[in-house]
A and B are shown apart, each in its own frame.
Chain A
């Protein structure tokens, strides 16, 4: 290996600011005294030292002109100045500043994540969640999907968390008759919000024995049209969404409008009474 090339390699072991300050005089020294193996090891160890102590790189301050005042200070003064470190050279970052900035950047990143997560959580989802208009499909499609809909069994439409009730067929079902009404009109359809008005549990499908809904949480019981019966703590019947059938024959539920269920005022206020006692619930 040619000597200048080896000198360059040795120089590369030093950090860049050191090379800027000492590079040319150090190379001059190496050219005058080509280093042997021992000197090369010495240089490597010193380069490591220079990387460990970056604060020991004084700027290129040159003492030009007359010598400094020949005042000899007392012994203690220069000794105290031993090891006193000047501020780091321009452009270099001290360890403390670096740690502070990293800490600040980390905290900022965390805050942004929290803020973003909170916003995303709070952002209203009109397209898919509650508040949107849901197109359930044509009645014929619903009957194909769930044939018992024609017999009065509510059609559970999960995205809107609603039961679509075929009112005349449902009444027949609750009365114990067999009926098939596959094409009710829009005002014969009822969309019940499957959210118990007591504490918000999801109301399950009709029970087979009574054809009533009984909330699994606290036993609030509703008839097949969602009207509150005696059992359970709910104060009113299940809430409803407006239902319409558009020009294409598609059933549309508008979950932006919530019609509160009727208050529980006693058996004489019900619009529909099934043959079972007022005060029993599904088991």
Chain B
């Protein structure tokens, strides 16, 4: 658990975009433009091109994604096994966060009803 936090703090302000990119790549390799449109489709936020490539470089350096060959100028990227594991770890953490948040919110609303 502490290692996950360490990983997040190493990514710094790119932690959240990194997760968006990992989620986007989870259902198959995509190139930069596809990642951007995909993220806009499933998340409320959008990724700037600079942020996107900063995140791609970090994820690739960490071995969480890898570039693929392409005939086109647009290069697709694929999530690696390590990337998938990291993402599932982060999602588990978020699930726990979600559960605690809901529990506390329910307690608060019950207190309000009284």
B-contacting residues of A (Cβ < 8 Å)?
18, 22, 24-30, 32-33, 35, 38-39, 41-47, 49-50, 55-58, 60-64, 67-86
Contact = CB atoms under 8 A, between A and B. Distances in A.
Contacts of B86: 78-79, 82
A26 B3 contact: no
Contact of B63 (A29, A70, A81): A81
A69 B81 contact: yes
Interface string B24-44: 000000011100100000000
11 contacts: A22-B57, A26-B32, A26-B53, A29-B74, A30-B49, A33-B36, A41-B48, A46-B51, A68-B66, A81-B63, A81-B82
Given A43-B48, A81-B82, A82-B11, A57 B69 contact: no
Given A24-B73, A75-B89, A79-B4, A47 B81 contact: no
B84 A39 contact: no
A96 B61 CA distance: 20
A15 B80 CA distance: 27
B54 A46 contact: yes
Contacts of B58: 56, 83
B64 interface: yes
Nearest to B3: A79
A256 B72 CA distance: 86
Contacts of B53: 22, 26, 46
B54 A49 contact: yes
B54 A27 contact: no
Given A27-B73, A32-B33, A63-B66, A73 B82 contact: yes
Contacts of B64: 78, 81-82
A24 B62 CA distance: 22
A210 to B, nearest CB: 91
A79 B89 contact: yes
B49 A43 contact: yes
B16 interface: no
B57 to A, nearest CB: 5
Contact of B69 (A44, A46, A64, A82): A64
Contacts of A78: 63-64, 81-83, 85-86, 89
Contact of A62 (B48, B67, B83): B67
The 6 closest A-B pairs by CB, nearest first: A46-B50, A42-B48, A78-B82, A43-B50, A82-B7, A83-B10
B94 interface: no
Contacts of B51: 42, 46
A114 B62 CA distance: 48
A72 B81 contact: yes
B18 to A, nearest CB: 10
A58 to B, nearest CB: 5
A56 B36 contact: no
B68 to A, nearest CB: 6
B75 interface: yes
A79 B66 contact: no
Nearest to A49: B54
A23 to B, nearest CB: 10
B46 to A, nearest CB: 9
Nearest to A43: B50
A22 B73 CA distance: 10
Nearest to B7: A82
Contacts of A27: 73
Given A29-B32, A32-B33, A39-B49, A77 B68 contact: no
Interface in B65-114: 66-69, 72-75, 78, 80-86, 88-89
